[in-house]
Amino acid sequence: MTATDIQYRVQGGVPLNGDVTISGSKNAALPLIAGAVLCSGETVLENVPDLRDVRTLLDTLNFLGAETSFQNGTVRIRSHNMQNKPIPIEYVGKLRGSIVLLGPLLSRFGVVEMAYPGGCVLGKRPVEAHITALKCLGAQDMSTDQVLHMQGALKPGHIILPEFSVTATENAILAAALLPGETRIDLAACEPHVREIQKFVESMGAQVEEKGSHTLLVRGTPDLHCVTHRVPFDYLEAGALAIAALVTKGKVRLHDVDNEHLLSFIESMRKLGAVMKYDKNEKILFVDGELSSLNAISIKTNIFPGFPTDLQAPFGVALTQARGVSRVFERLFEGRMAYLYELEKMGAQVEILNSHEALIIGPTQLRGRTVASNDIRAGAAMVIAALCAEGETAITDVRYIERGYDRLEEKLTSLGAKIEKIEIPVLEEAKV
């Protein structure tokens, strides 16, 4: 039997020019959708990116009895008739982000059971931080090797997270928002999408107070009401498109950008030699790749407000175009360097020191090859590499990219890129 592989075919060497509006954030949209579980009524989310992951999570809510619609960037979730039941692997197995259902379902129904969430392979990414958080609120862990299962009537408590986990922090906030009383969360992540969840539950009727950078006090209420909320811009998409403009020596204006979400990234771009200008009033980030002259630098990913790990792979492409030896230090995930092997196929000079460190020697004229999308962010990096490469590049496994970027090929085409989306038949081996 045959299947299809969705690919991009990119003709490189064309400078990107023009204006593009950044879509809503996937990393904010997913926990906001999960947060709709907390109330009985209709939640409306605006500026939602049209991504595979978003639709997968909506399908999961439909399975649980919610009624959802998604049209023109607006998601409506009617949660009146939701019921709690075990969620099979066909829903959560392809989306790591479905873990954010754990806290809301447990807090509302007193029990949650699901197959272990899947998604991209970026190292171990264990669920212990989530389990730890919910056990601090009184949940019992009944999980097995096959099923994630927690139950118990939750009560406000003191959560000390074992790491600065974004999704565990989101789960803790969402669970605590429905509990009458005060819950303290220490070692809380403070990424922009975490702060968006704080705003969301506050608009529903809870209170969230920040006590320093990484401590939150959540005063919950069982009477949360459904609201209308706008998903903020995707700073990861903005960063990727800024790099694309830079390495193609183009001139691009990125609309609907809040530079406060990108401070470390913008500073690293300027150290690299990128010519950029931000208009605070218009929320436009202008990147002038034509006037930029790139020189090697070192970057270290870190928790927010440090350099985002999700922009490390795209930035690595920019380093191949910089003069000298650059160093990349990935602090968070041991699986994030695999894209460098794909860049080597295109002619990049790379020395991988270990699973967290690499040297990139430039500048190098990349050449078109067939390369793979190893994960969402690596896929974006391959697109950026293809845009500045000589000749044609075929990028396989584009489904990864479409899980994280809303209409990426359309936006790039609007800026002048020569990129085509095609389906290639793939012969599957017969099952014995």
Which is nearest to 328 in space by CA: 299, 297, 364? 299
Which residues have C-beta within 8 Å of that of residue 383, sequence separation ≥ 6? Answer: 8, 10, 244, 395, 401, 408, 412, 419
- How many of the other CB atoms lie within 10 Å of CB of 226? 20
Measure the CA–CA gap between 385 and 362, rounded to whole angstroms: 14
Question: Is 120 known to be catalytic?
Answer: yes
Which one of 39, 120, 136, 226 is the catalytic residue? 120
| Residue 138 falls in which region: left (phi positive, over 0), alpha (psi -120 to 50) or beta | left
C-alpha dihedral sign at 315, 316, 321, 322: positive
In total, the chain counts a number of residues equal to: 432
Measure the CA–CA gap between 378 and 313, rounded to whole angstroms: 6
Exposure string of 336-359, with b = 16+ CB inside 10 Å and e = fewer, is bbbbbebbebbbbebebeeebebb
Say if residues 185 and 159 touch (Cβ distance below 8 Å).
yes
Q: Which residues are catalytic?
A: 120
